[in-house]
Amino acid sequence: MANLVCPECGSDITKEDSKLYCKNNHVFYINNGICEFLSKSLHNITQDDAAYHANCKEDWIEFTQSDSLRNLYFHKKIIEFIVKASASDTEILEIGGGVGFDLELFLSSNPRFYKYCFSEISSEMVKFVKIKTNDARVEYYTIDAHRIPFKAETFDFIYMVAALHHLVNVESGMREIVRVAKKGAYIIFGIEPNRMFFYFLKSIKKALAGLLPKKDHSAGDEHAEGFVIKDFVNFGEDCGLELIKVEPVWIICGFIHYGLELIFKVLKLKTRVRLPFIIEKMFIFIDKLLFFIPGSKYLAWHYTVIYRKS
């Protein structure tokens, strides 16, 4: 088990059978191999997000289209980076891991690593992932990213995919993530929304409110504002991180993705439209060419950001 601290007060955790407790009498439990560390004072938005995730777990891949090439390509790039740089003593923390899509990609790459801590805010999601994962090196946690229950400088890699923007307080979450990262550790935020397009999508939803489902997104998405590149620069400077890379994700592919999603919802189709592999590959290639144009990165729908802790 990873080095644990109490998320409420920061003191050391003692394990006794299925109970975890600290000297200040904060008590947590291990249920079916899952360490439950959610605070009783969890923010309402975070609680709503957890419930939303739990309700969507069976249809998550279909809902997010994670397995479509336009998404899969960028998920794989993140995982390939981690796999390439990991070693037999590497400890990894995934925050907001959803249904374990990236965990499965990671394990299928036959990586070298020592420990992988998978975490989510939804205990139902974590149970769902644990059932279908068979690797003794993987540990399972329900945590709030604003209060991470691990000791300082524990992990060599910490990553979140399409989850940073869900945090109620991004700066607070960033400080916690940096705290538990070792010196020299990589911190990766994958496929985070561009603020400009986030506002654009919200305005479209508002204009078509009568045609769209009442609840087609999480509380976190409702609260979120998205990011601009300068935000990532500032995060790095404020937290003492070296900004290794900001990779733009989607231009044409973004219009394709959200256009297909709009068609699905407005026409109330039973299944989402799937594009042929070769068509998806073509749009990804076109986007690559477009990103050679100076200034085009500011028009990306999303960004993947890689930091290294100094």
Average pLDDT score over residue span 56-64: 86
- CATH (domain of 56): 3.40.50.150
Average pLDDT score over residue span 136-142: 96
* Whole-number pLDDT of residue 2: 76
Q: Is residue 3 part of a domain?
A: no
| CB neighbour list of residue 13: distance below 8 Å, 6 or more residues apart | 4, 5, 6, 20, 21, 22, 28, 149
pLDDT > 90: what percent of the chain?
A: 76
Q: What pTM value is reported for the model?
A: 0.94
Question: Residue 203: which pLDDT band, with cuts at 50, 70 and 90?
Answer: confident
Q: Is residue 14 part of a domain?
A: no
Per the CB < 8 A criterion, the answer to whether 114 and 91 are in contact is yes
Structure tokens at 99: 């249904």
Q: Is residue 18 part of a domain?
A: no
Q: Which residue has the higher pLDDT, 306 or 122?
A: 306
**How many domains does the chain fold into?**
1
Q: Is residue 138 part of a domain?
A: yes
Q: Is residue 4 part of a domain?
A: no
Q: Is residue 8 part of a domain?
A: no
Average pLDDT score over residue span 194-209: 79
Domain span holding position 289:
32-309
- Beta strand segments in the chain, E: 14-16, 19-21, 27-31, 34-36, 91-94, 115-120, 138-142, 155-161, 181-193, 241-249, 302-309
Q: By three-state DSSP, how is residue 12 classified? A: strand
* Whole-number pLDDT of residue 220: 60
Q: Is residue 167 part of a domain?
A: yes
* Whole-number pLDDT of residue 227: 95
Does the pLDDT of residue 187 top 70, yes or no? yes
Q: Is residue 9 part of a domain?
A: no
Q: Which of 71-75, 184-188, 218-222 has the lowest mean pLDDT?
A: 218-222
Q: Which of 169-183, 264-278, 296-310 has the lowest mean pLDDT?
A: 264-278
